[in-house]
């Protein structure tokens, strides 16, 4: 087998594994969220379909699959159909550079547990992640519905505002590690997770991450109390499911990046491996659900104020202090 | 600055409260398997009562039908005879029907009944598949004869 064919086969297999894992993760994330939110509200949550409700995602999927998906009159049909596809594709693509475990050996070859060890690593994630806003904004615009449009406009404004803080908190990590490559970032955290060096950065990343994925308390683009369902008001059935999928996979991706950047990725106190990665991602996803079940939605002007007048200056300060710290440690000041 | 600390404190306390709730026992009744007890004065599905000796309490006076704000009750009376005695009075209800789609469970029929023949019971699972089956007839509403098995014989009280 020639080297090229081997590389292609490996890439395809890895892609399929990642897509399968993310889709399963999405399905069970919906159950996890409903279960945790239910416990917080002193309820059981879904427990009728299968043992402990474990087949609930399947039932939901079948329901969504067989639902009618009407297109509203006056909608821009092409964009209307393309928008959910953009959201879902971008959500899946962002996971490509995240290393979920140390390299393994198969047939005498080293195979990394990531789809691509891109040297720009985290920059790729930011670039692809920011494409996600197109799906939402175009969905809002193409639906020919005022609520959808407002949701889409809110989404673009919010995601652009919080992307700055997100990018700046990531920049501080790059300053400390000296490389945007994900594998290098994980290797750097062999002894001390970056959480201890960048506690403020971690907090900023977490808050911006919640805003980036449009999750409560920053779920303004779909604020049901004002905008019916925001940008996906006019979507139903599998088209809606694609947006839903994008949101949940984005949550998983943001948690996975936080794990990689701040919590040491697949590294643990003993026996490094994907299980540590999974455990940390699950913990962060729990925080997502926990926050959603606790905090009410913010008012829109406060959301913008918070993004521009609190998060952004603090992120800049964090980068500034980190840069000075790095210079001092390297003995250049 | 002080208010900022207060705000963050409030957020943390809120998260603490919700986290503690995770470990509380749930308050859910797993409904079809476990049922909440109904209150003693709960107004559910109607019952037509009998005396201890098995005679029907209803004397076919139609007061319930008259008072019913939803006009859900239909009563058709017939004369009792000594050979064919259904209720202790002069007359009995030959037909007694309640339209459960119209009924609003106000309980006026129960209040107005001079012989306490109609009583609202505890049963609230009244769903069905077609409209016709919501018209409850007399034999659906009537409680079983306490002298079950014995033949109904005329017995003046």
pLDDT, tens digit only, all 333 positions of chain A: 677 887 888 888 888 888 888 889 898 999 999 999 999 998 888 888 888 888 998 998 899 889 888 888 888 888 888 889 888 888 888 888 888 877 777 766 777 777 777 778 788 888 888 888 888 888 888 888 888 888 888 888 888 888 888 889 888 888 888 888 888 888 788 777 777 778 888 888 988 888 888 887 888 777 777 888 778 888 888 888 888 888 899 899 889 888 888 888 787 777 777 888 888 899 999 999 999 989 888 888 888 888 888 889 999 999 999 888 888 888 776
> How many domains would you assign to chain B?
1
Does residue B150 lie within any of the structural domains? no
Helix, strand, coil share of chain A (percent; to 5)? 70, 0, 25
Residues of the domain holding B87: 46-141
Taking CA–CA distances from A292, the nearest residue in chain B reads: B15
Q: What is the CATH number of the domain that holds B84?
A: 3.30.70.3270
Tell whether ipTM is more than 0.95: no
The helix (run of H) or strand (run of E) holding residue A279 is helix A274-294
Chain A residues with CB inside 8 Å of B22's CB? 36, 39-40
Does residue B147 lie within any of the structural domains? no
Which residue has tokens 């006009």? Answer: B71
Does residue B2 lie within any of the structural domains? no
Chain B residues with CB inside 8 Å of A39's CB? 21-22, 26
What Rg do the C-alpha atoms of chain A give, in angstroms?
Answer: 20
Which residue has tokens 């994900």? Answer: A182
Q: Please tell me if residue A48 touches chain B, with a CB cutoff of 8 Å.
A: no
Chain B residues with CB inside 8 Å of A293's CB? 18
d(CA A158, CA A153) in angstroms, rounded, equals: 9
Pick from B28, B29, B31, B34 the residue to mutate for testing the A interface (most A CBs within 10 Å): B28
pTM here? 0.79
Does residue B28 lie within any of the structural domains? no
The sign one gets for the Cα dihedral A130, A140, A209, A302 is: positive
Nearest to A289 by CA among A251, A318, A326: A251
* CB atoms B27 and A295 under 8 Å: no
Taking CA–CA distances from A46, the nearest residue in chain B reads: B30
Copy the structure tokens of residue A121.
């690593």
Helix, strand, coil share of chain B (percent; to 5)? 25, 15, 60
Does residue B129 lie within any of the structural domains? yes
Pick from A33, A39, A216, A313 the residue to mutate for testing the B interface (most B CBs within 10 Å): A39
SS3 A8: helix
A303: left (phi over 0), alpha (psi -120 to 50) or beta: alpha
Does residue B134 lie within any of the structural domains? yes
Does residue B133 lie within any of the structural domains? yes
What Rg do the C-alpha atoms of chain B give, in angstroms?
Answer: 25
Size of the A and B interface in Cβ pairs below 8 Å: 32
Chain A residues with CB inside 8 Å of B10's CB? none
Copy the structure tokens of residue B20.
């503690």
Does residue B3 lie within any of the structural domains? no
């Amino acid at each position: 087998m020639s080297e090229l064919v081997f590389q292609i086969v490996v890439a395809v297999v890895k892609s399929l594994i990642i897509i399968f894992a993310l889709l399963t993760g999405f399905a069970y994330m919906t159950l996890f969220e409903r279960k945790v939110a239910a416990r917080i509200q002193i309820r059981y949550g879904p427990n009728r379909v299968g043992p402990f409700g474990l087949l609930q995602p399947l039932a939901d999927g079948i329901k969504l699959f067989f639902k009618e998906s009407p297109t509203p009159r006056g909608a821009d049909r092409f964009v209307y159909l393309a928008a959910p596809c953009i959201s879902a594709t971008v959500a899946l693509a962002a996971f490509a550079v995240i290393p979920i475990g140390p390299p393994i050996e198969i047939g005498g070859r080293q195979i990394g547990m990531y789809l691509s060890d891109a040297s720009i690593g985290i920059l790729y994630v930011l670039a692809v992640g920011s494409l996600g806003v197109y799906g939402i904004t175009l969905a809002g615009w193409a639906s020919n519905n005022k609520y959808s449009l407002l949701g889409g406009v809110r989404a673009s404004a919010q995601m652009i505002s919080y992307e700055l803080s997100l990018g700046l908190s990531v920049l501080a990590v790059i300053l400390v590690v000296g490389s945007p490559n994900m594998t290098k970032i994980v290797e750097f955290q062999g002894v001390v997770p970056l959480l201890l060096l960048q506690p403020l950065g971690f907090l900023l990343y977490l808050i911006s991450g919640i805003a980036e994925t449009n999750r409560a308390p920053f779920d303004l683009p779909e604020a049901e109390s004002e905008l019916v369902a925001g940008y996906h008001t006019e979507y139903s059935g599998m088209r809606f499911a694609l947006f839903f999928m994008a949101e949940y996979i984005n949550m998983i991706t943001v948690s996975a990046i936080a794990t990689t950047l701040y919590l040491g990725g697949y590294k643990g106190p003993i026996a490094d491996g994907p299980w540590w990665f999974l455990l940390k991602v699950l913990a962060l996803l729990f925080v997502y659900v926990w926050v959603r079940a606790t905090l009410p939605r913010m008012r829109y002007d406060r959301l913008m104020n918070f993004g521009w007048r609190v998060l952004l200056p603090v992120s800049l300060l964090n980068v500034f202090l980190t840069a000075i710290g790095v210079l001092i440690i390297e003995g250049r000041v | 600055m002080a208010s900022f600390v207060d705000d963050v404190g409030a957020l943390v306390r809120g998260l603490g409260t919700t986290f503690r709730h995770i470990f509380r026992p749930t308050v859910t009744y797993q409904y079809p398997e476990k049922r909440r007890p109904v209150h003693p004065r709960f107004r559910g599905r109607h019952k037509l009562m009998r005396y201890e000796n098995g005679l029907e309490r209803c004397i076919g006076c139609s007061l319930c039908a008259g008072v019913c704000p939803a006009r859900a009750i239909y009563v058709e009376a017939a004369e009792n005879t000594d050979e064919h005695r259904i209720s202790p009075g002069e007359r009995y209800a030959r037909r007694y029907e309640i339209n459960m789609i119209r009924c609003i469970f106000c309980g006026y029929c129960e209040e107005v009944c001079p012989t306490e023949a109609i009583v609202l019971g505890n049963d609230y699972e009244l769903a069905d598949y077609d409209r016709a089956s919501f018209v409850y007839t007399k034999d659906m509403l009537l409680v079983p004869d306490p002298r079950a098995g014995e033949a109904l014989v005329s017995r003046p009280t």
